[in-house]
Amino acid sequence: MLNNRSTLSPVLAEGCLMNDFSRESLQCTLNLIPAHIWYADPSISLTFLNERSADYLGLAKDHPLRFGIETGAARDSHLAFLHPDDRETARKVWSECVRSGSAGEVTFRIRNAEGGYRWFVSRAEPRRADDGTLCGWIGINLDIEDRQRAEFYLAQGQRLAHIGSWAFNAGGFEYWSAGLFQIHGLEPGGKAPSTPEYMALVHPDDRDFVAHEMQKMLAEHRGFDFTKRIVRPDGAVRHIRCVGTPVPEGGTFRGFVGTGMDVTEQEQLTQALRKSEEELRQIVDLAPQHVGVLGPNGERLYANRTALAYLGIRLDDRLHATIGSHVHPDDRERLIAFASRLSVGSVPELELRLRKHDGSYRWFLARYNPVCDERGRLLRWYVACTDIEERKRAEERLQQENVALREEIDKTSVFEEIVGTSPALTVVLARVSKVAASDSTVLITGETGTGKELVARAIHRRSRRSSKAFVAVNCAAIPRELIASELFGHEKGGLHRCHPPATRPLRTRRRRNDLPG
C-alpha cells in the first residue's frame, strides 16, 4: 500500500472525495464496487484505477495507477486504451468537460488484457473543494457491450427491414432511431425533429391528414396505424407506414412509442397489382360471355358487366341472390344436382336457360373451371356462360326437319321396290294403302314371280306394325303336315302325342309367325 502521502494525487491527498475514510479503506471500498472507477486530475489525466478496471486493462499488480500515485503522464495518455476509431470523440468530450468544468459522458470501446475491445459508457463528475476550486474528476465506466450488441443487431435489423423507431408525446418527438433518420434521408445521430420540422418532411398532399391523425391520437390516447408519404431532401417520395401504441405509466398517459416502416416497394407493387386487376376486370367486363366467380363452397364473389346487364341487376344483388333464382324453373333441379356433384378433377359443363331482364329465357352453356393452390386445395370456381340460344334453335329446327324428312321418305319409299304405272298395278297399290291401315289378315295370291312378297312388305311398311320385324316364310319349304302348326301354332305334345287327349293340358295357341302383312 502507500506509505508516502506526498506521492498521492491531489484528489486523494487533499481529501476531496470522502474525508472520513483513510486512503487504504477508501481504495478498498472502491475496489469492491462492481464497476470500473477512476480518478483524474483537473486536466483529466488519470491518477487512479480501481482493481476491476486495472485488471480489465491487464495492468501490473504494482502499477502506479492501482495506488493513485502521480506518474506525470500526459493528459491524453489514457486514450491509448481506447479503440482508434473512438479516440477523437473521447478527446473532444473530455476537452469540453475541462473547458466548462461540467460533467460529461461519452461512449467508447476499451481494450482488455487479451487485446479485444468492449463497449463502455464513461461518466465523469467534477470534484470541487469547499471554495469551489476544481480539484479533480471522478468517473465510472459501465460495461454496455451486451446492450451495444443488441442495439447493433436491432439497428441492422431495422436497416434491412427499412424500419425505424420513435417516441412521441404532446411536446413532440423525444426519440428517433438511426433507422428512422435513414428512412427520411437524414444523417443518423442527430436530434429528433420538432413537430414543424417533421411536418415539413411530410408530402404536401398528406399534411392535413397526418396533422388530423396526430391530434386524434393525442386526444383519444389510442393506438394508430396509417400510411403517409414523405419527401426526402433529395426530392424522392417514399411511403411510410406509421404504427404507434400509447405508453401508460402508473395509470398516467406518457406518450406513444412506435415504428415507421418504409413500404414504398410494397405500395408500388400494390398499385401495380391494382392496375393489373383493373385492366383484367375491364377485359372480363368487355368479354361477350357471362363470367362469374364462386367460392369453394359455391358462394358468389363476382359477376362481370355482361352478366349483370343481361340479368338487369347490380353486383350486390347478384352476390346475395339465392341459387337458381335466375334459372328457368325446369332447369333448377338439374342445376342443384349438378352443383352437388362438382369436383376439382374435371371441367364440368351444364346447359341451362337463364332469365333475361325482360323476362325471356335464353340457353347458355356453363363451364366450371376450378382454381387450386399449390397444395391442391380449391380456392375458386370460375364460371363462363356462353349463349347457345341460336345453336339450340338450329338443333331444334334440324330435328324438326329430320322428322319431316323422315316422314317424307317414308311416304315416298313405301312402294320404292314396286315399279310400274299400269292401271292394274295402280289399283293394287291403292288396295295396299287401304288394307294396311287395318289389323285384318290379308291373303295375297298370284303366280310365282309376280311380286307377292313385295306387296306384303309394302303393306307392312304402311301398317301400324311398321316398327316391328317383318318375317317372310317360304311355305313351299315346309312339309304339308307341319305348315298349320308353323303358321298357327300347336298344343304341347300335340305333334308326338306324349300326353293322352283326356289328360293333355290345353295351352293357348302359340303363334310362330304371322302371315306376311
Lowest mean pLDDT among 44-53, 342-351, 452-461: 342-351
96 and 44 in a common domain? yes
The answer to whether residues 137 and 226 belong to one domain is: no
Provide mean pLDDT across the span 58-67: 89
Q: Do both 383 and 425 map to the same domain?
A: no
Q: Say yes or no to pLDDT of 78 above 70.
A: yes
Same domain? 252 vs 158:
yes
Number of domains the chain is built from? 4
154 and 132 assigned to the same domain = no
| Ordered alpha helix ranges (H), 203-304 | 207-220, 264-286
In 3-state terms, what secondary structure has residue 353? Answer: strand
Write down the pTM of the prediction. Answer: 0.47
Cβ burial, residue 235 (10 Å; 0-12/13-18/19+): exposed
More confident residue, 24 or 208: 208
* Residue 364: all three cell numbers together: 347458355
Question: 48 with 65: CB under 8 angstroms?
Answer: yes
- What does the pLDDT look like over 225-260, one tens digit per residue? 999 999 999 999 999 999 999 988 777 888 899 999
pLDDT at 21: 45
- The sign of the torsion formed by the CA atoms of 408, 414, 419, 420 equals negative
The pLDDT, as a whole number, for residue 419 is 67
Instruction: Specify whether the CB–CB gap between 162 and 156 falls below 8 A.
Output: no
* Cα 436 from Cα 398, distance rounded (Å): 30
What's the whole-number mean pLDDT along residues 145-156? Answer: 78
Residues 97 and 121 occupy one common structural domain:
yes
Q: Does residue 462 lie in a domain region?
A: yes
- Pairwise CA distance, residues 138 & 229, whole Å: 49
Whether residue 60 is contained in a domain is answered as: yes
The answer to whether position 39 is within a domain reads yes
Kindly report the backbone phi and psi dihedral angles of residue 512, in degrees, each rounded to the nearest multiple of 5, phi listed first: -80, -45
Mark whether 84 and 176 lie in a shared domain.
no
- The predicted structure's pLDDT at residue 55: 92
- Are the C-beta atoms of residues 109 and 89 closer than 8 Å to each other? no
The verdict on 176 and 156 lying in the same domain is: yes
* Higher pLDDT, residue 439 or 516: 439
- Tell me what percent of the residues of the chain surpass a pLDDT of 70: 86
Domain carrying residue 292: 287-387
Q: Is residue 282 part of a domain?
A: no
Strand segments (E) across 25-111 = 36-40, 46-49, 104-111
Q: Is 381 exposed, middle or buried (0-12, 13-18, 19+ CB in 10 A)?
A: buried
Number of neighbours of residue 215 by Cβ within 10 angstroms: 10
Helix, strand, or coil here: 29?
A: helix
Residues 199 and 259 in one domain: yes
275-313 pLDDT, tens digit per residue, is: 988 888 888 888 888 998 988 888 888 899 999 999 999
3-state SS class at 382: strand
Q: Are residues 155 and 138 in the same domain?
A: no
